Amino acid sequence: MNAQAAASLLHFAEETVPGLRGLDGKAAASALEQRYGELLEALRWFIDQGRADEALRLASLLAPFWMATKRLGEGSNWSDRALASPGGSDASRAETFFQAGLLAFWRGDDDGASALHESALAISRKTRDPSLTAKALTGLARIALRRSGLDEARRLCREALAITADTIDRVGRSNALHVLGVTAQMAGEFAEARTLMSERIAIGRETGNYAAIAIEASNLAMVERQLGNLDQAEALSREALEISYRRGDDWATPLMIAGLAAVSAQRGELDRAATLIGAAEEMMESQGFAWPPDERPHYEKVVATLAEAPDAGELERARAAGRAMTSRATVDFALGARS
């Protein structure tokens, strides 16, 4: 590895990683996978050569790829190494702290995530960067949600929205809308949740961020389901699953499947619900992902419904069958006609 090769690989990551959010996310992930060994060599070279800014930039660029490919622990280790290098711009360091915070959050390390997001927030406040400030605030809001701190999450997200209100920023605002919408849903404020989630879907369509569209469609399905609008909830969950699977988003796919399981459980289609929830559980466990705080109560409700059913033993067998299904078979089953 030399300076020219490392710089070329950094440029490749800058050009390729944004594609992870689009409909062709699977192709972008494949391109990154093919050169993953080289990208790590470049990251190691930047760290060893004391080129902190390039190391931080590459580590933060790779974070969405690490999340998408189940490399949470590996990503956290590389992020820590990059952050341990002295120097680099404030913007690069703050972004890496934020992305490392997300990696820690999805591993279930709330204390580690909180410290990383606090570091990102301190730098972004100092530099008066509205987008990074908003992202750091919403990172902390995610942790507050997991700790049942709805009021604190709402306060943090509203501050993030206020900071980005008169700017051209879309990323920080989108993040704030997402977490605030989740907060409203968890608080039972469904009209507000619907408005916030719909605005984020609109931003996703405007910016071509299909990852955001899929996640927010899934969240909106959760709202519609609680309002009793099961047909609308199913349509939104199906759209979210179709987008996520096409994009190769292994992280989001089990959440969409769990949403369809919840619809089936509410309709009394318990065999289908058991199969789907078993498949979703296996996907989550195999990736080492913790259930998000807004998703966990709905997942637990499905599991409780199955356990309390008269034919719980048969349903447990259906759940085990779901766990044994391949991802492709699960998606085909989830999107297929209901029996």
Q: Name the residue type at position 205.
A: R
Token digits for 62?
């790779």
Token digits for 196?
């916030």
pLDDT of residue 88: 92
Answer whether residue 44 is part of any domain. Answer: no
Token digits for 206?
């405007």
Mean pLDDT within 142-170: 84
Mean pLDDT within 249-257: 87
Query: From CA 292, how far away is CA 77, in angstroms rounded?
Result: 22
Answer whether residue 194 is part of any domain. Answer: no
pLDDT of residue 137: 95
Neighbours of 1 (CB within 10 A): 15
Closest CA to 237 of 224, 227, 226, 248: 224
- Looking at per-residue pLDDT, the higher value among 199 and 117 belongs to 117
Counting Cα atoms < 13 Å in the Cβ hemisphere of 64 gives 22
Task: Give me the DSSP letters along 148-189.
Answer: T-HHHHHHHHHHHHHHHTTSS--HHHHHHHHHHHHHHHHTT-
Closest CA to 321 of 268, 287, 272: 272
Which CATH number characterizes residue 303's domain?
A: 1.25.40
pLDDT of residue 175: 81
Mean pLDDT within 194-206: 90
pLDDT of residue 229: 94
Mean pLDDT within 78-103: 95
For the stretch 274-311, pLDDT in tens is 999 999 999 988 877 778 877 888 899 999 999 998 98
Answer whether residue 302 is part of any domain. Answer: yes
Query: From CA 28, how far away is CA 34, in angstroms rounded?
Result: 10
pLDDT at 232 over 80: yes
Q: What percent of the chain has pLDDT over 70?
A: 99
pLDDT at 209 over 90: no
pLDDT of residue 338: 62
Query: From CA 136, how far away is CA 176, in angstroms rounded?
Result: 10
Mean pLDDT within 205-212: 87
Most confidently modeled range among 1-5, 7-11, 129-133? 7-11
Query: From CA 96, how far away is CA 113, in angstroms rounded?
Result: 12
- H-run or E-run covering 18: none
Answer whether residue 331 is part of any domain. Answer: yes
Q: Tell me the C-alpha to C-alpha distance, in Å, between residue 199 and each of 208, 220, 239.
A: 14, 11, 17
Q: Name the residue type at position 212.
A: A
Answer whether residue 254 is part of any domain. Answer: yes
Answer whether residue 105 is part of any domain. Answer: no
Q: Name the residue type at position 152.
A: E
pLDDT at 172 over 80: no
pLDDT of residue 287: 77
Indicate the pLDDT class of residue 173, thresholds 50, 70 and 90: confident
Answer whether residue 240 is part of any domain. Answer: yes
The answer to whether residues 300 and 282 touch, using CB atoms and an 8 Å cutoff, is: no
pLDDT of residue 150: 84
Answer whether residue 239 is part of any domain. Answer: yes
Q: Which residues, including other chains, have CB under 8 Å from residue 313's CB and lie 6 or more apart?
A: none
- Please tell me the least confidently modeled range out of 102-116, 232-246, 286-300: 286-300
| Residue range of the domain that includes 298 | 209-339
Number of domains in the chain: 1
Mean pLDDT within 167-196: 85
Indicate the pLDDT class of residue 337, thresholds 50, 70 and 90: low
pLDDT of residue 211: 87
Cα dihedral: 235, 237, 241, 243 (round 10): 60
- Please tell me the least confidently modeled range out of 85-89, 113-117, 246-250: 246-250
pLDDT of residue 235: 94
Task: Give me the DSSP letters along 182-232.
Answer: HHHHHTT-HHHHHHHHHHHHHHHHHHT-HHHHHHHHHHHHHHHHHTT-HHH
For the stretch 31-48, pLDDT in tens is 999 999 999 999 999 999
pLDDT of residue 160: 87
Closest CA to 32 of 52, 17, 14: 17
